[in-house]
Amino acid sequence: MANMNLYSRNDRIFVIVNMVLIGIFTISTLYPFIYIASLSFSSGFEARAGNVILTPIETTLEAYKYILSERMFWVSYGNTFIYTIGGTIMSLLFLIPGAYALSRPQIYGRRFWNLLVAFTMWFNAGLIPFFLNMRDLGLLDSYFGIIIGFAVNGFNLILLRNFFEGVPSSFEEAARMDGANDFQVLVKVYMPLAKPAIATVALFCIVSRWNGFFWAMVLLQDEDKIPLQVFLRHTIVTLSDDQQFTATLVNASYSVETVSAAIIVCSIVPVLIIYPFIQKYFEKGILLGGVKE
Amino acid sequence: MSGVKLESIVKAYGAVQVVHGIDLEVKEKEFVVLVGPSGCGKSTTLRMVAGLEEISDGTLTIDGKVVNRIAPKDRDVAMVFQNYALYPHLDVAENIAFGLRIRKESKENIEKAIKDVAGILGLENYLERRPADLSGGQRQRVAMGRAIVRRPKVFLFDEPLSNLDAKLRTQMRAEIKRLHQRLGVTSIYVTHDQVEAMTLADRIVVMNDGRIEQVGSPMELFLNPVNAFVAGFLGAPPMNQIQAVISGGDAAPIAEFAGQQFTLPPLPGLQNAVGRKVIVGIRPEYATPQTKAVEGSVSCTLELVETLGSEALLHTTIGGEPFVIRTETLGNMDQLNAVNGFTADPALIKVFDAETGVALSGQLRVA
Amino acid sequence: MSDAATPKPAVTHFVNKRPVSQRIVDHLKREWQIYLMLAPTVIWLLLFLYKPMYGLQIAFKDYSIFRGVAASPWIGFDHFETLFASEQFLRALKNTIYISMMSLIIGFPVPILLALMFNEVLHQTFKKTAQTIVYLPHFISSVIIAGIVITAFSPSAGIVNTILSWFDIDPIYFLTKPEWFRPIFIGTTIWQEAGFQSIVFIAAISGVSPTLYESAVVDGASRWQMMWKITVPSIIIMLIIRIGNMLEVSFEMIILLYQPATYETADVVNTFIYRQGLQSGQYDFAAAAGLFNAVIAFVLVMTANSISKRYSRTSLW
């Protein structure tokens, strides 16, 4: 924006105070992550004693050794990849053509179709009917159920639709004059043009799939199908009450705290890896989708 | 023969009709320009020919075949869009080849076609660039390349030059004309710019409010506009139009306005017309400025002189109404500043009915 | 010009001569691919979101898994009567309202303040870095956040109790204490979401034309004045929308953090439904609670929508 000289001395104090406050908020956001990371690399004894505050004490990889030797950790990690990749691809297969169709002015009942989408964002049947429906469809305890059951989401659909609406219609018309059918128009012209919007939606899907736990917990009984988050919850929430586990820890160099922290670190790392990409797109994405409707 | 024939073409959105039954025949190899103010239905008409808008009623024939219900891609027409609609993710060669690829032409054919088109349009050095890296004129050329590469029966142009600056527009105008002469493809061109219409067209179609006002060669329309609308639309600056009342006899009709008189030609349309309200139309070019009262001169008040170098526009008023005279300067500014009236050859004066705008005067022969 | 001279043709009322059925056939012949693209999404919506709405009727039925939704007998409002006689449900309702009100009052100003503050930062690198960090928790799963909270508040090893011990305060088992649940929960959600929510407000603020700011500088306004006069009005609409979404308490997080000892302050309608329906199998009864919740939420959202529409028409933009 404008330059500093425009402002008086009072304003400069305001600017500095402002920066300090933001700094405090930022540090308080960052600290818990640092704390957890330090815990995961500390010895069980020091962690139990509450001595870890900022940096690892008695640095050790024992907690990681423990979880990396857990079969369920690898199984659930693999499952999470299946749900994340499969679910994101499934979502895009529905969302891209659906959003494109909704953005076309020529379809009959366009208002009706759009209302059909918007209404699901205002009114939700709730947990029980959704669960019973999944059961009636035979989608309990299945990979496919998790992947298909959450494929479409009104927000993402509208975000993409708004983007497609913003593309000048002459692109479609030019492609049609060039001999393209609707699928070719979408794949060869609109999808390349919509790359930022599609990337945004794909990233939203990836994050929500990676993080999803509630429905996986409700819909999946078979331990071998649970995703990482459910395993994590099991470990964190139930491990601390598990007398047997606590008993094995007496002489071990890891503890409930360090093991939990290590799993947390392992499941955050992939998010941190794609986070720069998310950051690149989501501000734009929010602007694209958030304003209309 | 790849002509285009529109018979009673109607466009309606729901019950609201916007194009009211257009009849037009575009002959093979002809360059026809649809011109009119914005919202007159010219673009809609063009888009109906392209197949981008449904035809509500009437019959559209291309190359002897009724195409009302044929998809754009199967009509064998190509279109140049106002914003060019170049695919930003493809380079120039790929943009030009897009249609051929979609139609699954062979690789050799495509490469040859790109080469030919690039040669015709002088794009050889830009084939690997993206549209974003091209200048306005180059983009325009790529858009045309994309149209001509398929060798369609008909070219459609939707205000293709309106995004260019004035100088480039003049240049591209000439290029389009040359291209048409070279390729000889039937063309329909939509513009709101009457200069483009005059310079490019074999025939001009003047449209207004969803109807055709007049069809004819540029000179026909310039010299013999059928009504006040066409007269006012073509020519720059536009024809002066003065409200007047007819007096005098059939043999020597006179138009009276603002306390002044003007001799009119004894036209058939002015018989028994005494007392009739008319519009007198005088083109700025056909008024001869005077510095003192001479026989048949009309006095006017000079407000402003706009000099264009060899020519000047004299902005004057007659009884408060604006009247523009176009004249050669011959370097004599004092002479221009002293203008206080003008004369006009009665034979070049147009007279229109004040109510309907229909021309009352006879025809001028096109030289 | 000559407009006056040319009579405007009357708008012609167009009557299409082709029969409607014929026109529909033409239309489908031309556009069938578009409908083919739309079909999967529409079918999905019907199958996964609208069919459950049909299934909501079990709220008025004596539902049995074996009979299914349609064949179960109607029992009218019995479930709702039980519901409103249930102390647990009323407690959950009260907790829901209490938690969302408190979240709104305490939590709503935070992202706005953040957005306003970010808007005033001129140092771009500092701004980008800070934003990157404060947005991050939004993308971390609630299980992890809950894990962090549980670890940090653990009585033996948690950092919170460690700090308390410096002041000779005995360890507190925070997550088993009803009086601590709400502050911890609300604090956690603010910590997790405030940064991300500020994006929307930053967008709203940057939607204010920069020329407005520039002319204010020329007019001699201080930055503080400019913030209040120009930026704040652009935020009011967001507030109305947030009030509309008030019932959205993040129950996933509550499920992760609460335990029987803290139900009295922690149990909200959705966790109640989860326990009654999915854990105890009282589907019809839980569906009734869900229906009640959904209807209230719907009314709130629609009211907020219409208010914000009316407001935005008369507002700055």
Q: What is the pLDDT along chain A (293 residues), one digit of tens a residue?
A: 444 455 566 777 888 889 999 999 999 999 999 999 999 999 888 888 888 888 898 889 988 998 899 899 999 999 999 999 999 999 999 999 999 999 999 899 999 999 999 999 889 888 999 999 999 999 999 999 999 999 999 989 988 998 899 888 999 999 999 999 999 999 999 999 988 889 889 988 999 999 999 999 999 999 999 999 999 888 876 666 655 666 566 557 788 888 889 999 999 999 999 888 888 776 665 554 433 32
Q: How far is CA A151 from the centre of its chain?
A: 14
- What confidence score (pLDDT) does residue C136 get? 92
Query: What is the C-alpha separation between B41 and B171, in angstroms, rounded?
Result: 27
- What confidence score (pLDDT) does residue A6 get? 53
**Pair A151, A264 in one domain:** no
Mean pLDDT of B318-347: 86
- What confidence score (pLDDT) does residue B252 get? 76
Query: What is the C-alpha separation between C159 and C162, in angstroms, rounded?
Result: 5
- Encoded tokens for C138: 């939004």
The percentage of chain C sitting over the pLDDT mark of 70, rounded to a whole number, equals 83
Enumerate the residues of chain C whose CB falls inside 8 A of the CB of residue B243: none
**Pair A64, A176 in one domain:** no
ipTM associated with this complex? 0.89
> Is A63 domain-assigned?
yes
- Cβ-nearest to B357 among C2, C9, C16: C2
User: Could you give the number of structural domains in chain A?
Assistant: 2
Helices (H), chain B: 42-50, 92-102, 107-121, 136-148, 166-183, 194-200, 218-223, 228-233, 333-337
The answer to whether A177 contacts B72, with C-beta atoms less than 8 Å apart, is yes
Q: With beta carbons less than 8 A apart as the criterion, state whether B326 and B345 touch.
A: no
Tally of helices (H runs) and strands (E runs) in chain C: 17, 0
Residue at token pair 């035979």: A138
Query: What is the C-alpha separation between C70 and C38, in angstroms, rounded?
Result: 29
Chains in contact with C via at least 3 Cβ–Cβ pairs below 8 Å: A, B
Query: What is the C-alpha separation between B356 and A80, in angstroms, rounded?
Result: 77
> Is A180 domain-assigned?
yes
Residue span of the structural domain in which A167 resides = 71-219
Q: With beta carbons less than 8 A apart as the criterion, state whether C285 and C60 touch.
A: no
> Is A41 domain-assigned?
yes
Domain ranges of chain B: 4-229, 237-291+298-353
- B214 phi, psi to nearest 5 deg: -165, 145
- What confidence score (pLDDT) does residue C208 get? 60
Nearest CA in chain C to A290: C200
Enumerate the residues of chain A whose CB falls inside 8 A of the CB of residue B85: 168, 170-171, 173-174
Contact residues for A259 (Cβ-Cβ < 8 A; gap 6+): A63, A66, A67, A235, A239
> Is A279 domain-assigned?
no
Widest pairwise Cα distance in chain A: 76
Contact residues for C168 (Cβ-Cβ < 8 A; gap 6+): none
- Encoded tokens for B68: 């009302």
Q: Kindly report which listed range (B43-57, B85-99, B289-303, C221-235) carries the lowest average pLDDT score.
A: C221-235
- What confidence score (pLDDT) does residue A53 get? 86
Between chain A and chain B, the number of residue pairs with CB atoms below 8 A apart is 58
- What confidence score (pLDDT) does residue C7 get? 46
> Is A293 domain-assigned?
no
Chain A contact present for C133, CB below 8 A:
yes
Residue A49 DSSP code: T
Q: With beta carbons less than 8 A apart as the criterion, state whether A90 and A145 touch.
A: no
Chain C contact present for B56, CB below 8 A:
yes
Nearest CA in chain C to B68: C26
- Cβ-nearest to A264 among C142, C144, C222: C144
- What confidence score (pLDDT) does residue A2 get? 44
What number does CATH give the domain C78-314?
A: 1.10.3720.10
- What confidence score (pLDDT) does residue C47 get? 97
- Cβ-nearest to B102 among A184, A192, A193: A184
Distances (CA, A) of B261 to B240, B255, B299: 16, 6, 10
> Is A143 domain-assigned?
yes
- Among C11, A181, C10, C18, smallest CA distance to B55 is for C18
- What confidence score (pLDDT) does residue B90 get? 94
CA angle, B17 as apex, B11 and B22 as ends, to 5°?
50
**Pair A45, A85 in one domain:** no
Enumerate the residues of chain A whose CB falls inside 8 A of the CB of residue B98: 175, 178, 188
- Touching C: B residues 228-247, CB under 8 Å: 228-229, 231-233, 238, 241
**Pair A75, A206 in one domain:** yes
Query: What is the C-alpha separation between C113 and A45, in angstroms, rounded?
Result: 42
**Pair A97, A207 in one domain:** yes
- Cβ-nearest to C9 among B57, B211, B228: B211
- Cβ-nearest to C5 among B15, B238, B357: B357
Domain B4-229 has CATH 3.40.50.300: yes
Position B23: which residue type?
Answer: D
> Is A162 domain-assigned?
yes
- Touching A: C residues 17-76, CB under 8 Å: 24, 27, 31, 33-35, 37-38, 40-42, 44-45, 47-53, 55-56, 58, 68-69
**Pair A172, A195 in one domain:** yes
Please give the mean pLDDT across all residues of chain C.
84
**Pair A77, A212 in one domain:** yes
**Pair A151, A63 in one domain:** no
- What confidence score (pLDDT) does residue C51 get? 96
Residue A7 DSSP code: S
Query: What is the C-alpha separation between B312 and B316, in angstroms, rounded?
Result: 12
Q: How confident is the model at residue B292 (pLDDT cuts 50, 70, 90)?
A: confident
CATH of the domain at A61: 1.10.3720.10
> Is A156 domain-assigned?
yes
Is the model more confident about B296 or about A291?
Answer: B296
Chain C interface mutation, best of B9, B44, B229, B321, highest count of C Cβ atoms under 10 Å: B229
- What confidence score (pLDDT) does residue A200 get? 86
Q: Which CATH class is domain B237-291+298-353?
A: mainly beta
- What confidence score (pLDDT) does residue A102 get? 96
Please give the mean pLDDT across all residues of chain B.
90
Is the model more confident about C239 or about B27?
Answer: B27
Q: With beta carbons less than 8 A apart as the criterion, state whether B9 and B45 touch.
A: yes
Domain ranges of chain C: 20-71, 78-314
- What confidence score (pLDDT) does residue C3 get? 41
B14 burial via Cβ count (<10 Å: 0-12, 13-18, 19+) = exposed
Q: Kindly report which listed range (A25-39, B80-94, C11-25, C129-143) carries the lowest average pLDDT score.
A: C11-25
Enumerate the residues of chain A whose CB falls inside 8 A of the CB of residue B82: 170
